[in-house]
Chains A and B, each alone.
Chain A
């Protein structure tokens, strides 16, 4: 049991003590892409070999969360605690075990596999949410504590009042990372002011956007960070119970979170009277069922309550009438993952990163026709061009870049000509896309934009819960219309109808799914109109 800030620091120091722990670490990435190439087997093998060579006193082998550069999987880092040095190796496969034993013995690096860490992919990133990803062992709470884990929570409990915590978050300017961008501090303040005996803290880990895996990586690589953020939210808002709603398709995230919650309970970091402060907080994981609409706030609440994930009219907002009719704070995984760092370093520090209206960093999943696919965290305000060409290494092959899709089925396509705009909530909204949760898909000149729009519309159509007519009927009709365009059988009146119907679905749908479903069509019409007209509208 950890009962005070002092005891927390003792645990951290014990773990950091070089006399008691190994001086070196081999960090094998067990994120989704590396795991798909067999990194778990490699990890087991390596651990066995290191032990049989009696090198385990000197070097600890551990599995770590996503390192970022997924296209170079499997990634392995060799870390020296003395001097804080790290060599990163890429494209490792299961045959390299012996070479690592040699490296440990001779201290000469594996030259041909060494990854250049001076390239912009590494240097242009700024890590806050992912600060521990690729570094700590997600199964080991002590490892988290040794990296300043739970320091923020204990500081809150011992030194800050709930109002001071909220003020700090407000100062930071943190906005919801699920895509909407609502100021987190304001949200907390509203809930904290509501009088109620029972309030809830809920985390949205139902990452339904196809092409996005940021939250998955955070939950798998650093589950304690989410727990810490939620516990601080509980303290600030006066809630003693929280739920993490995770997609059932992410079994590893579920496993890591459950394990982390268990460990935290055992240490007295979750439970009653945390650090003798009178504050109690506990968490449970709830599984989603693969319904995209459950990313919508009221649907998510309905799903946690065990119902079909149908949304309802707002207001009343969740801050008054949320989970089990009680006041509820709902934030995204990445939002909670920012909280601990803000408390540790201060709101001022956080607001100095990024732009004045979009502070801090954003995690993106870079995918599609781009060289460096993977997970990156960049300061807000960076231009899309830097993100795509410097960090992402530009499009693959000889093909020219055509468009970038952000925000998934609720977002839009940005043409190559607009790559110089800064990445922040407002700029992206102004040009008809959205920040979204962070999926960023690069498309080269071979991509047909009408087909892309149809792909998303088809997605929304099959994910529509069917409660309201504009969304249920509208998305089906729009899919049929887009089919006509792809078949080159559309008339001029079809084109007018397409645009009209987009507006109707947008204006009259009940929830965010329907309201944003036409975005991919509208943005492709705006920037790639000729692809709709070509071969069509000849009547």
Chain B
């Protein structure tokens, strides 16, 4: 098997970003989480190749890198769909019916929270709390926050995204 060399960062601008973060933090092992953040930002998600690259550059076992990447909810190991809807499931949203909104979305678009539809068009994500509790229940449609959502509106907004 050919071992892939680690100098992809010289040519690929996405790897270059990742390399920059590691360099800034002196390739210290503690740079791992910061590096994963940068990697997710530049690649959109963390694929195995990227994790292996980071492991080699930081001289960490791959198991460690994989372990950290799967521990934190923020890191995605699968690509996101074309559009994303994030339904806030914080307490304030929950008592104002966010669970029903999420259930309705799951049913309507045939997708489970945390997953992407088969056609890769829509990722449905449930968030712990987006910190806009006074607009509860709230969801983010491709990062656009829509507050005081009703059941119908939550679906309509998503349909609008998909029709774009």
Contact = CB atoms under 8 A, between A and B. Distances in A.
Do A and B associate with each other? yes
Interface of A: 32-33, 35-37, 70-71, 73, 207-213, 216, 248-250, 286-292, 303-309, 365, 367-369, 373-374, 405, 408, 439, 441, 443, 447, 452, 455-456, 459, 465
Nearest to A447: B95
B133 A211 contact: yes
A22 B31 CA distance: 45
Nearest to A304: B30
A306 B90 contact: no
Contact of A367 (B67, B72, B89, B136): B136
A443 B34 contact: no
Contacts of A455: 91, 94
B32 interface: yes
Contacts of A288: 72, 74
Given A36-B132, A207-B131, A211-B129, 8 more contacts: A249-B127, A250-B131, A287-B37, A289-B33, A292-B128, A306-B30, A308-B71, A367-B134
A439 B91 contact: yes
Interface in B59-104: 67-68, 71-75, 89-92, 94-96
Given A73-B134, A287-B37, A211 B91 contact: yes
Contact of B92 (A73, A306, A367): A367
A443 B95 contact: yes
Nearest to B75: A289
Closest 4 CB pairs of A and B: A289-B72, A70-B134, A211-B91, A210-B90
Contact of B71 (A309, A365, A439): A309
A536 B44 CA distance: 48
A465 B67 CA distance: 12
Given A287-B34, A306-B29, A37 B147 contact: yes
Contacts of B67: 308
Contacts of B132: 32-33, 36, 70, 213
Interface string B114-141: 0000000000000111111111101000
Contacts of A447: 95
A249 B130 contact: yes
Interface of B: 28-34, 36-37, 67-68, 71-75, 89-92, 94-96, 127-136, 138, 145, 147
A257 to B, nearest CB: 14
A360 to B, nearest CB: 24
A249 B74 contact: yes
A104 B36 CA distance: 49
B91 A216 contact: no
A208 B127 CA distance: 11
Contact of B131 (A216, A286, A308, A441): A216
Contacts of A374: 134
Given A210-B128, A249-B127, A368-B95, A33 B31 contact: no
A295 to B, nearest CB: 12
B134 A286 contact: no
Contacts of A35: 145
Contact of B68 (A33, A308, A441, A465): A308
Contacts of A305: 29-30
Contact of A441 (B37, B91, B147): B91
Contacts of B72: 288-291, 309
Contacts of A373: 92, 133-134, 136
A464 to B, nearest CB: 12
B30 A291 contact: no
24 contacts: A32-B132, A33-B135, A36-B135, A36-B138, A70-B133, A207-B131, A210-B128, A211-B129, A212-B129, A213-B131, A249-B74, A249-B130, A287-B33, A289-B36, A289-B37, A289-B73, A291-B73, A292-B128, A308-B68, A309-B72, A368-B91, A374-B134, A441-B95, A459-B128
A367 B130 CA distance: 13
A369 B68 CA distance: 38
Given A249-B127, A250-B131, A306 B73 contact: no
Among B127, B133, B135, B136, max chain A CB count under 10 A is at B133
Nearest to B94: A455
B71 A291 contact: yes
Residue from B28, B67, B92, B94 whose CB has the most chain A CB atoms within 10 Å: B92
Contacts of B136: 367-368, 373
Contacts of A465: 71
A248 B30 contact: no
A200 B87 CA distance: 37
A36 B95 contact: no
Nearest to B35: A306
Nearest to A374: B134
Contacts of B75: 289
Contacts of A291: 71-73
A208 B130 CA distance: 10
A369 B92 CA distance: 8
Nearest to A214: B131
Nearest to B67: A308
A408 B133 contact: no
Contacts of B147: 33, 36-37
A213 B145 contact: no
A45 B145 CA distance: 20
A310 B64 CA distance: 13
